[in-house]
């Protein structure tokens, strides 16, 4: 999937009950977080749904980056982790699906 140039559409309204949509979303985000591709997903949903995804993706990325930053303190990493958990809680509240990344 990392070499795919095709954009995948994920209908966020289906995320709670559609395992295929969950798999597409999490796999694509995981590949992007690893730096092995572009974020090749077209998100289709309400503003609240898109913001929930956007926020948790970027807070996850900020936390991940803090782990690899030579100058980052433990305090900074914990702050980023806390923010990631807050965004993950919002994601679960909106979609009834746990954030697994």
Residue 5 has a pLDDT of 54
Q: What's this model's pTM, rounded to 2 decimal places?
A: 0.86
Determine phi and psi for 43, rounding to 5 degrees: -85, 130
pLDDT for 2 beyond 80 = no
Mean pLDDT in residue range 75-88:
96
pLDDT for 78 beyond 70 = yes
Return d(Cα 18, Cα 11) in angstroms, integer. Answer: 9
> Do 80 and 68 touch, CB atoms closer than 8 A?
no
Taking the domains of the chain in order of start, what are their residue ranges?
8-95
> pLDDT for 39-53, tens place per residue?
778 899 999 999 999
Residue 70 has a pLDDT of 86
pLDDT confidence tier of residue 3, bands split at 50, 70 and 90: very low
Query: What is the full DSSP assignment across 5-48?
Result: -SPEEEEGGGTTT-HHHHHHHHHHHHHHHTTSS---EEEES-HH
> Do 61 and 101 touch, CB atoms closer than 8 A?
no
pLDDT for 55 beyond 50 = yes
């Amino acid at each position: 999937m990392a070499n795919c140039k095709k954009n995948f559409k994920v209908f966020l309204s289906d995320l709670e009950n559609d395992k295929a949509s969950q798999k597409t979303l999490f796999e694509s985000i995981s590949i992007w977080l690893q730096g092995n591709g572009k974020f090749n997903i077209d998100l289709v949903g309400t503003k609240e749904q898109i913001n929930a995804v956007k926020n948790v993706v970027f807070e996850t990325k900020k936390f991940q980056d803090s782990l690899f930053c030579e100058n980052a303190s433990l305090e900074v990493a914990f702050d980023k982790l806390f923010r990631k958990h807050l965004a993950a809680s919002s994601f679960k509240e909106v979609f009834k699906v746990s954030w697994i990344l």
